[in-house]
C-alpha cells in the first residue's frame, strides 16, 4: 500500500471541508507514493515520537498538532512585534524534526480540525465515550453538551485521571458539587478565556477543558461554571487512539499501526518536594 492510500482513507472519512477554514491539513513532508512500512498516529510529532517511529520501522506519521513551530511573538492584526525570534527554518526543534523525517524517509500528515469532530473515532466522540459523559443534548461545535446521571465534580475528575492515566489535574469549583450537564471544550479551546460563556449559555453545569489559561479559570469561577482541566494532549489522545483503531479496521494486518503518546514532559513540585 502507498502512503497516499492511507491518507485517502482518513480524508474520505473526515474531509478537509469539515475542518476549520484555513487550518493546516494534509501532507507536511514526505513522499505520498512511497510504500508503507508502518503507520504511527500521535498527538504531537515531537523529536521523541519521531525517533520512536523510526525504531518501530514505521514511515507514515499521522499527527494532530504541527510538525514545525511557527512565529509566535507577533500580533498580525495589531501589527505588534513583541520580541525578536528566529525564523522558522532556524528554530532548533524544527531543524531536528525535519532532519529526522528526511534522513529516515518519513511522510508526515496532519489531521487537525477535520479529525476533532470526526464521528465515532474523532477527538470529541472518543473522549466522551472514554469518560462516559452520556447523551448529546445540545451546545455547539466547540462546546457540545452531554447529559448523564448526576456525579460530583471530584468523582468525575478522579475517574478521568484513572481512565486517561493522568494526574494531578486542576479542578475549578466545589469538588462536592453535583453535576449532570457537561460541556466538552477539548484541546486548546480553553486558551480563549471567554469560552466558558459558550458552555454556560448552553446549560452546562461543568465544562471539561483541554488546556486552560489562568484567565479562563477565573472566568469560570465568576459565572459559576465548574471545570476540569485534563491537559491539551490528554484531552485529544483518545482521538488519536481512535484514528489508529479506524486504520486497523481498514488496513491489511501486514501493515502495523500504533498510537504513540506524546507524553507529559513535566513534573509537579512543591516546597515539600
| Averaged pLDDT for residues 36-44 | 98
Domain 3-115+236-260 falls in which CATH fold? Answer: 3.40.1390
Helix (H) or strand (E) segment spanning residue 129? helix 123-131
Q: So what's the pLDDT on residue 60? A: 98
Residues near 13 by beta carbon (within 8 Å), at least 6 away in sequence: 118, 121, 246
Q: What is the pLDDT of residues 117-154, one digit of tens each?
A: 999 999 999 999 999 999 999 999 999 999 999 999 99
Residue 90 CB partners (closer than 8 Å, separation 6+): none
Where exactly are the structural domains of the chain?
3-115+236-260, 123-230
More reliable by pLDDT, 73 or 193: 193
Residue 73 has a pLDDT of 77
pLDDT at 77: 76
Look at residue 84 and tell me whether its pLDDT is greater than 90: no
Residue 75 has pLDDT above 80, yes or no: no
pLDDT of 83 over the 90 cut: no
Kindly report, residue by residue over 216-259, the tens digit of the pLDDT: 999 999 999 999 999 999 999 999 999 999 999 999 999 999 99
Looking at residue 221, what is its pLDDT?
Answer: 98
Give residue-wise pLDDT tens across range 127-136: 999 999 999 9
Q: What is the DSSP string of 153-197?
A: HHHHHHHHHHHHT----EEES-TT-EEEEEEEE-TTGGGSTTHHH
Predicted confidence band at 273 (pLDDT cuts at 50, 70, 90)? low
CATH class (in words) of the domain with range 123-230? alpha beta
Q: Hey, do 3-115+236-260 and 123-230 end up sharing a CATH topology, with the first three levels equal?
A: yes
DSSP letters for 74-113: EETTTTEE-S----GGG-HHHHHHHHHHHHHT-EEEE--H
Amino acid at each position: 500500500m502507498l502512503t497516499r492510500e492511507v491518507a485517502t482513507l482518513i480524508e474520505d472519512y473526515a474531509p478537509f471541508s469539515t475542518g476549520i477554514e484555513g487550518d493546516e491539513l494534509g501532507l507536511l513532508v514526505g513522499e505520498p507514493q512511497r510504500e508503507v512500512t508502518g503507520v504511527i498516529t500521535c498527538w504531537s510529532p515531537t523529536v521523541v515520537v519521531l525517533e520512536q517511529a523510526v525504531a518501530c520501522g514505521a514511515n507514515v506519521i499521522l499527527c494532530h498538532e504541527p510538525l514545525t513551530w511557527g512565529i509566535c511573538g507577533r500580533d498580525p492584526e495589531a501589527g505588534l512585534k513583541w520580541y525578536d525570534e528566529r525564523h522558522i527554518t532556524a528554530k532548533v526543534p524544527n531543524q531536528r524534526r525535519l532532519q529526522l523525517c528526511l534522513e529516515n524517509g518519513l511522510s508526515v500528515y496532519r489531521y487537525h480540525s477535520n479529525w476533532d469532530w470526526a464521528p465515532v473515532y474523532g477527538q470529541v466522540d472518543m473522549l466522551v465515550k472514554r469518560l462516559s459523559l452520556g447523551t448529546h443534548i445540545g451546545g455547539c461545535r466547540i462546546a457540545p453538551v452531554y447529559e448523564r446521571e448526576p456525579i460530583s465534580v471530584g468523582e468525575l475528575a478522579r475517574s478521568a485521571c484513572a481512565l486517561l492515566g493522568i494526574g494531578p489535574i486542576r479542578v475549578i469549583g466545589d469538588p462536592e458539587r453535583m453535576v449532570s450537564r457537561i460541556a466538552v471544550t477539548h484541546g486548546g479551546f480553553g486558551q480563549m478565556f471567554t469560552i466558558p460563556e459558550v458552555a454556560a449559555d448552553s446549560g452546562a453545569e461543568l465544562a471539561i477543558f483541554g488546556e486552560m489559561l489562568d484567565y479562563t479559570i477565573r472566568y469560570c469561577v465568576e459565572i459559576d461554571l465548574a471545570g476540569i482541566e485534563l491537559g491539551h494532549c490528554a484531552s485529544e489522545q483518545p482521538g488519536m487512539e481512535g484514528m489508529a483503531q479506524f486504520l486497523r479496521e481498514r488496513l491489511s494486518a501486514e501493515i502495523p499501526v500504533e498510537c504513540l503518546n506524546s507524553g507529559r514532559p513535566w513534573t509537579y513540585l512543591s516546597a515539600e518536594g
